[in-house]
Structure 1
Amino acid sequence: MHLHERNLYIMAIKIPVVKGRTLSTEYWLGSLSFSAISKYVKLPENTDWDDVFGGKGGQEAQRKLAKTRVTNEIVPYLLNSDDAFFSSLALILVPSTGDPLKEGSDYEFKPISADGKIGELFIDESVDMFPADGQHRAAAIIDALRQDRGRMTPQEVPVVLLPYVDKDKLRQHFSDLNLNAKPVSQSIGYAFESRDPIVIVTKRIMKDVPLFEKRVNELSNSLAKKSPDVITMGTLVQAHHILLEALYGSKYKDEAEITDLRQIDPADERVGAVAEKLRDVWEVVIDNIPEWDLLMNGKVSARELREGDEAKGTTGFVFAFGLGWQAIATAAAALIKDERDDWSEDLAHCLRAVDWSKGGHWHGIAMVGERVNNTGPGIKATAGYILRTGGLGSEGGEVGALVSAAPDDAK
Structure 2
Amino acid sequence: MGSPSPSQLVDTATSSGFEYIFPAIRGVQAGREFYVSMCPLRLIPKIFLFDEDELTPEVRAQRVLNKGRLPALTRYIIDNPDNYVFSALTASVDGEMHFEGIADTGVGMRAGQIRIPMAARFLINDGQHRRAAIEQALKENPDLGEETIAVVFFHDSGLARCQQMFADLNRHAVRPPRSIGVLYDHRDDLAIIARLLAMRCPVFKGHVEMESSTLAQRSRKLFTLSSVYSATQSLLQGLEIKKEKAQELAEQFWEAVDEVIPEWDLVRRRELAAAEVRRDYIHTHGIALHAIGRIGNTLLRSSEAPKVWKPKLIRLKSVDWSRTNSDWEGRALIGGRVSKSHQNLTLTVNYLRQRMKLRLSPEEQRVEDAYLRGDA
Give the shorter-chain TM-score range.
0.7 to 0.9
> Pick from 171, 174, 181: which aligns with 2:173?
181
Change (3 A) 1:167 1:322: same
Q: Deviations over 1:252-288 (max 9, x none)?
A: xxx8x44xxxxxxxxxxxxx54311211221222222
Secondary structure of the residue that 2:34 maps to in structure 1?
strand
Secondary structure of the residue that 1:47 maps to in structure 2?
coil
**Structure 1 alignment gaps of length 5 or more:** 1-7, 51-55, 94-100, 249-254, 259-271, 308-315
Is the contact made by 1:364 and 1:407 (CA closer than 8 Å) also made in structure 2? Answer: no
Secondary structure of the residue that 2:161 maps to in structure 1?
helix
Secondary structure of the residue that 1:222 maps to in structure 2?
coil
In structure 2, distance between residues paired with 1:172 and 1:278: 49
Is the contact made by 2:53 and 2:65 (CA closer than 8 Å) also made in structure 1? Answer: no
Change (3 A) 1:57 1:332: same
Change (3 A) 1:305 1:58: same
When the two structures are aligned, how many residues end up with a matched partner? 352
Q: Which residue of 1 aligns with 2:323?
A: 358
Q: Which residue of 2 aligns with 1:239?
A: 231
Q: Which residue of 2 aligns with 1:305?
A: 277
In structure 2, distance between residues paired with 1:339 and 1:43: 53
Letter aligned with residue 53 of structure 2: T
Q: TM-score, normalised by structure 2?
A: 0.83
Change (3 A) 1:89 1:376: farther
> Pick from 281, 285, 290: which aligns with 1:326?
290
> Pick from 210, 214, 222: which aligns with 1:218?
210
Letter aligned with residue 244 of structure 1: L
Note the C-alpha offset of 1:140.
2.4
Note the C-alpha offset of 1:25.
3.2
Change (3 A) 1:87 1:407: farther
In structure 2, distance between residues paired with 1:354 and 1:132: 53
In structure 1, distance between residues paired with 2:353 and 2:230: 20
Is the contact made by 1:216 and 1:232 (CA closer than 8 Å) also made in structure 2? Answer: yes
> Pick from 110, 121, 141: which aligns with 2:114?
121
> Pick from 348, 351, 364: which aligns with 1:402?
364
**Structure 2 alignment gaps of length 5 or more:** 1-14
In structure 2, distance between residues paired with 1:346 and 1:62: 55
In structure 1, distance between residues paired with 2:370 and 2:331: 9
Q: Which residue of 2 aligns with 1:312?
A: none
Secondary structure of the residue that 1:219 maps to in structure 2?
coil
In structure 2, distance between residues paired with 1:243 and 1:43: 42
Q: Alignment identity in percent?
A: 26
Pairing 1:7-86 to 2, within 5 Å after superposition: 9-44=16-51, 46-47=52-53, 50=55, 56=56, 58=58, 61-72=61-72, 74-81=73-80, 82-86=82-86
Q: Which residue of 1 aligns with 2:250?
A: 278
In structure 2, distance between residues paired with 1:383 and 1:27: 55
In structure 1, distance between residues paired with 2:239 and 2:103: 60
Q: State the superposition RMSD in angstroms.
A: 2.7
Note the C-alpha offset of 1:21.
0.8
Secondary structure of the residue that 2:320 maps to in structure 1?
coil
In structure 1, distance between residues paired with 2:62 and 2:296: 40
In structure 2, distance between residues paired with 1:340 and 1:403: 26
Secondary structure of the residue that 1:132 maps to in structure 2?
strand
Note the C-alpha offset of 1:347.
3.6
